[in-house]
A and B are shown apart, each in its own frame.
Chain A
């Protein structure tokens, strides 16, 4: 199954890395090189199509919240948050401030869980030369256990607010399915105090790493909000001057269907790839970081490498871990429950569109709604499908610099580079709706 083929002799070379490991979902890399130059780099996604944009048609937005979570088991909160905010914007629902805070706390939980998972179970074994965290644990059990405890702190937040760590159940249009009691939230404090220490230790760990060198300039895109580090809302900005309303995503970006992949790839309407995720956010929103996270970033002193070296994304994730833990602790301290779980609301026709920052980057959703608030058509653009073209572009740049090395090493380095983007392939596979097809 793990099949790497390097063509013998000549200048023509074809590298296949089948069934990428330690990424969520199923993908493979196909690279064609001619005379030392990369002719094509295709990140193939063969996750079976699941047609989500079709499955939500005819559903109420509360049902959509439950359904879109199932696009990704790693970041269900991101899908729920984007859908619920889109719905509330479309229906003109003003939620209680405590609901706003709880949703941000829920999102922090998912970031903590997802980043701890990626750093400790997926990325760190790469950088330290182990096939898995389980093998790493044979030599550095404390480190892995610490990472698992950090992950558990994130899971506890999601489970406390949403009932369970994966596919939580309480997010509803207008708020939550019931009042989340103060006692339930307070009990998170102990976990978060430990998580604070573990997140700081993660910064120290990252400071000791030597990721493989690979530098390039990339177009970085993220949300940016006036009131804090981007999570639940913001405008779309880039390091080359873009600044648009999130609902206007489709005016600047579009998706295309490439023959080697079941996922749609997004590009700028100018045809340029762009990169989302922790590195983009830390670069574009450094001034919005929690003071603790800003201090951690300063201590690491790698802001420039985060912007230019994909293998340093682990540092961006570590900084965001510190941020999410610190912000979560602040929300827990200040939490006062709202008078009711959700506010009253009524559906109306219109377009619900929104973007939030999933752990892996900007997630855009748009739903056309009828007068009963039922979905007429939908578009869901996950971060990994937006990153795919940027990853391929980086691979095409990186491959020539390592091609002289032994085959196994080439494979390993390419896999590592792909993993450094934390691609979530099951999210990337989705179903394109009719409207989009006409424009593409």
Chain B
């Protein structure tokens, strides 16, 4: 899969842009509307042909760039993403749900059929797949914007770089790099907090440490994320379940975080099915 450093095709005519969503909270596509100052300037340079949250005009493609929010959680979604991929030149996943499965992927550890029939008055009304999975498990992805939610600055940078025909500056380094540049005092070293900054990709501006709490990993694993290395250190004075708990949030299903969760007894919550359905690398 291509990463943030992948050059995007330079499009000479007005690019046709789409925004679609699967299982998610809408926060990432809302970030597009949160570009307030730049939103109209961007709209002057592109054709937004599909963006149900913002416009009544609809399109099923083709798209030069399609921003995809959300994870694949139902059989219809699994079909639809294939059709959308076929209609799209550059498919960009936005946010933790689309890139890693999102918070709802925590249910991938539980037995879905048991849960569904146990908790829904009428499970037959609810159609969902056994897992909530990232887009890249289903179709090829050309670029990704991380975060829960994505960063408006990174979105602006990405769109600007595409329009200007240059490489977007979306580093795959650790949150620590941003934290140190910003001059934030390390909450792990000073306060002994659990901080996932060293294994999490930057892009948030070291938000949580700057607000006095440990990074909770919402941008997902950085390149070469050494989850086991951090877990080993944390376990000096924490229980394995507390280590698993820290990794078991929005990017829990990303392989580097998943390995830590599995190695430490799975995510919190009742065991209402097999502790996990697949091996650590599944």
Direct contact of A and B (CB under 8 A): yes
How many Å from the CB of A343 to the closest CB on chain B?
Answer: 15
The yes or no answer to A394 lying at the interface (CB within 8 A) is: no
The yes or no answer to B130 lying at the interface (CB within 8 A) is: no
Interface stretch (choices A81-89, A129-137, A306-314, A317-325): A129-137
Report the bound CA distance from A49 to B48 in whole Å.
Answer: 28
The yes or no answer to B139 lying at the interface (CB within 8 A) is: no
How many Å from the CB of A74 to the closest CB on chain B?
Answer: 6
The yes or no answer to A243 lying at the interface (CB within 8 A) is: no
Q: Flag if B26 contacts A73 (CB, 8 Å).
A: yes
Contacts known (A21-B56, A132-B57, A155-B36); A51 close to B107, Cβ less than 8 A: yes
Give B54's nearest chain A residue, CB to CB.
Answer: A132
The yes or no answer to A399 lying at the interface (CB within 8 A) is: no
Q: Flag if B37 contacts A55 (CB, 8 Å).
A: no
How many Å from the CB of A233 to the closest CB on chain B?
Answer: 25
Contacts known (A48-B128, A54-B269, A437-B120); A132 close to B39, Cβ less than 8 A: no
Contacts known (A177-B211, A177-B213); A164 close to B53, Cβ less than 8 A: no
Contacts known (A67-B103, A73-B25); A59 close to B122, Cβ less than 8 A: no
The yes or no answer to B81 lying at the interface (CB within 8 A) is: no
Q: Flag if A169 contacts B211 (CB, 8 Å).
A: yes
Report the bound CA distance from A172 to B208 in whole Å.
Answer: 12
CB neighbours of B160 from chain A (8 A): none
Interface stretch (choices B6-14, B16-24, B165-173, B223-231): B16-24
Q: Flag if A432 contacts B121 (CB, 8 Å).
A: yes
Report the bound CA distance from A51 to B36 in whole Å.
Answer: 32
How many Å from the CB of B260 to the closest CB on chain A?
Answer: 17
Interface stretch (choices B27-35, B175-183, B232-240, B274-282): B27-35
Give A156's nearest chain B residue, CB to CB.
Answer: B36
Give the contacting residue for B212; candidates A55, A122, A177, A258; CB below 8 A.
Answer: A177
Interface residues on B, range: 35 or more
The yes or no answer to A93 lying at the interface (CB within 8 A) is: no
Give the contacting residue for B204; candidates A21, A164, A426; CB below 8 A.
Answer: A164
Contacts known (A22-B56, A57-B270, A261-B125); A169 close to B213, Cβ less than 8 A: yes
The yes or no answer to B164 lying at the interface (CB within 8 A) is: no
Q: Flag if B37 contacts A148 (CB, 8 Å).
A: yes
The yes or no answer to A336 lying at the interface (CB within 8 A) is: no
CB neighbours of B55 from chain A (8 A): 21-22, 131-135
CB neighbours of A163 from chain B (8 A): 207-208, 210-211
Report the bound CA distance from A434 to B103 in whole Å.
Answer: 21
The yes or no answer to A357 lying at the interface (CB within 8 A) is: no
Contacts known (A55-B269, A66-B216, A167-B149); A134 close to B121, Cβ less than 8 A: no
The yes or no answer to A272 lying at the interface (CB within 8 A) is: no
- Interface residue SS majority, chain B: loop
Report the bound CA distance from A163 to B149 in whole Å.
Answer: 12
Interface stretch (choices A6-14, A23-31, A344-352): A23-31
Q: Flag if A47 contacts B23 (CB, 8 Å).
A: yes
Report the bound CA distance from A131 to B37 in whole Å.
Answer: 21
Report the bound CA distance from A267 to B218 in whole Å.
Answer: 36
How many Å from the CB of B124 to the closest CB on chain A?
Answer: 8
CB neighbours of B245 from chain A (8 A): 59, 63
Report the bound CA distance from A426 to B26 in whole Å.
Answer: 7
Report the bound CA distance from A67 to B151 in whole Å.
Answer: 18
Total chain A interface residues with beta-carbon distance under 8 A? 78
The yes or no answer to B52 lying at the interface (CB within 8 A) is: yes
Q: Flag if B207 contacts A25 (CB, 8 Å).
A: no
CB neighbours of A49 from chain B (8 A): 23, 73, 126, 128
The yes or no answer to B189 lying at the interface (CB within 8 A) is: no
Give A3's nearest chain B residue, CB to CB.
Answer: B58
Q: Flag if A166 contacts B149 (CB, 8 Å).
A: yes
Q: Flag if B73 contacts A121 (CB, 8 Å).
A: no
How many Å from the CB of A174 to the closest CB on chain B?
Answer: 13
Contact with A along B116-135 (1 / 0, CB 8 A): 00111110011010001000
The yes or no answer to B261 lying at the interface (CB within 8 A) is: no
Q: Flag if A166 contacts B30 (CB, 8 Å).
A: yes
Q: Flag if A178 contacts B106 (CB, 8 Å).
A: no
Q: Flag if B28 contacts A55 (CB, 8 Å).
A: no
Contacts known (A63-B245, A163-B210); A132 close to B125, Cβ less than 8 A: no
CB neighbours of B268 from chain A (8 A): 57-59, 374
How many Å from the CB of B155 to the closest CB on chain A?
Answer: 12
CB neighbours of A48 from chain B (8 A): 22-23, 70, 73-74, 77, 128, 132
CB neighbours of A1 from chain B (8 A): 50, 58-60
Contact with B along A25-56 (1 / 0, CB 8 A): 11000000000000000000001111101110
Report the bound CA distance from A162 to B267 in whole Å.
Answer: 26
How many Å from the CB of B121 to the closest CB on chain A?
Answer: 4
Give the contacting residue for B40; candidates A22, A137, A162, A167; CB below 8 A.
Answer: A137
The yes or no answer to A405 lying at the interface (CB within 8 A) is: no
Contact with A along B96-121 (1 / 0, CB 8 A): 00000011101100100001001111
The yes or no answer to B43 lying at the interface (CB within 8 A) is: yes
How many Å from the CB of A275 to the closest CB on chain B?
Answer: 22
Q: What 3 pairs across the A-B complex have the smallest Cβ distances?
A: A73-B27, A178-B212, A132-B55
Q: Hey, which bits of chain A sit against chain B, CB under 8 A?
A: 1-2, 19-26, 47-51, 53-55, 57-59, 63, 66-67, 70-74, 76, 117, 121-122, 125, 131-135, 137, 141, 144-145, 148-149, 151-152, 155, 162-167, 169-170, 172, 176-178, 256-262, 341, 374, 415, 424, 426, 431-434, 437, 440
> 6 interchain pairs (CB within 8 A)?
A19-B58, A49-B126, A66-B249, A117-B33, A152-B36, A260-B125
